[in-house]
């Protein structure tokens, strides 16, 4: 995309109070330096991963559906394969379910995500599995690999991206830029646009009005995405852990998305909204 990009704020020693006030409540992204300094996952190497969990079979998401393979073999293809050899883009590997031995390496939980209502008792059992699935998901990709599409996540969820290995460029657009991003007919959460370095303005003229933000994340960086449109490009072979996040400030937005999508019975919503509103007033 030609022209200047908007910058994503980069902050170190960010207090949780400032994070909530300036980013959660304002729905503004931020790259937080130093939030993962105690994670053993910052020491991950291909050999460490192979020694620890290389024999395990894993399932990962692709545009053609779920695929599976031996984790150590997949790691070899990504980190040690030739530049001409096809390498998988490992997506949405639930750590607790598929690679539980690695969970201890992503502790302690950053203070910014500790008030995550994803596991709150208000989450009814009939809500979709996409909302209630494994919390931490692993993404591993070779240099120059791109996530397949620009999208905004279901159920209005925010997310954290914890960069552990390599570098990844993240491209973001605010939610209200949706009319400029050419949502697909099949899925309003996905954009038709594939290229952002050299976009086709003849086909997508409204894209010129969209407010594109870019930021590169490296080892130890934690990026907060407040439910914005996003996609990524891997600059150096990369391992990233991503997890969904809602807190009390975002709860009513989640409920509105659930009602719009028919994810839970409408009769359940009013009591929840009243309860959460009361909790918010008390907490403020």
- Domain assignment present for 282: no
pLDDT given for residue 2 in this prediction: 45
Name the residue range of residue 121's domain.
Answer: 6-246
What is the SS3 assignment for 260? helix
- Domain assignment present for 260: no
- Domain assignment present for 87: yes
- Domain assignment present for 26: yes
Contact 24, 15 (CB under 8 A): no
Count CB-CB contacts under 10 A for residue 23: 20
pLDDT given for residue 216 in this prediction: 98
Angle in degrees, CA 112, 153, 158, rounded to 5: 15
pLDDT given for residue 38 in this prediction: 97
**Which has the closest alpha carbon to 122: 245, 260, 248?**
248
What CATH number is given to the structural domain containing 133?
2.60.120.650
- Domain assignment present for 159: yes
- Domain assignment present for 281: no
pLDDT, one tens digit per residue, over 94-118 is 999 999 999 999 999 999 998 777 6
Q: Which residues pair with 10 in a beta bridge?
A: 31
**pLDDT, block means (10 residues), the chain with 284 residues:** 78 96 95 97 98 98 95 96 82 95 96 79 59 79 96 88 98 96 95 94 97 98 97 98 83 71 50 49 42
Backbone torsions φ then ψ of 134, nearest 5 degrees: -50, 135
**Structural domains in the chain (count):** 1
- Phi/psi class of residue 65: alpha, beta or left (left: φ > 0; alpha: ψ in -120 to 50)? left
What is the SS3 assignment for 275? helix
- Domain assignment present for 273: no
Q: What kind and span of H or E run contains 170?
A: strand 158-173
Rounded CA-CA distance 108/40 in Å is: 10
pTM attached to this predicted model: 0.89
- Domain assignment present for 237: yes
């Amino acid at each position: 995309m030609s022209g200047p990009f908007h910058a994503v704020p980069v902050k170190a020693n960010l207090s949780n109070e400032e994070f909530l006030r300036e980013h959660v409540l304002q729905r503004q992204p931020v790259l937080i330096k130093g939030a993962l300094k105690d994670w053993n996952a910052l020491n991950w190497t291909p050999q460490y991963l192979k020694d620890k969990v290389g024999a395990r079979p894993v399932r990962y998401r692709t545009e053609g559906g779920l695929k599976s393979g031996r984790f150590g073999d997949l790691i070899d293809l990504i980190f040690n394969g030739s530049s001409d050899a096809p390498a998988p883009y490992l997506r949405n590997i639930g750590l607790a379910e598929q690679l539980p031995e690695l969970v201890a390496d992503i502790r302690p939980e950053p203070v910014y995500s500790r008030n995550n209502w994803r596991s709150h008792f208000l989450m009814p059992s009939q809500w979709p599995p996409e909302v209630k699935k494994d919390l931490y998901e692993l993404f591993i990709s070779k240099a120059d690999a791109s996530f397949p599409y620009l999208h905004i996540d279901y159920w209005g969820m925010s997310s954290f991206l914890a960069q552990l290995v390599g570098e990844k460029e993240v491209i973001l657009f605010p939610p209200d830029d949706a009319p400029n991003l050419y949502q697909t007919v099949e899925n309003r959460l996905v954009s038709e646009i594939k290229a952002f370095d050299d976009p086709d303005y003849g086909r997508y003229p409204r894209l010129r009005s969209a407010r594109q933000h870019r930021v590169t994340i490296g080892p130890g960086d934690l990026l907060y995405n407040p439910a914005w449109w996003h996609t990524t490009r891997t600059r150096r072979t990369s391992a990233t852990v991503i997890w969904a996040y809602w807190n009390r400030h975002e709860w009513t937005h989640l409920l509105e998305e659930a009602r719009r999508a028919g994810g839970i019975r409408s009769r359940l919503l009013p009591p929840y909204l009243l309860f959460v509103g009361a909790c918010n007033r008390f907490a403020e």
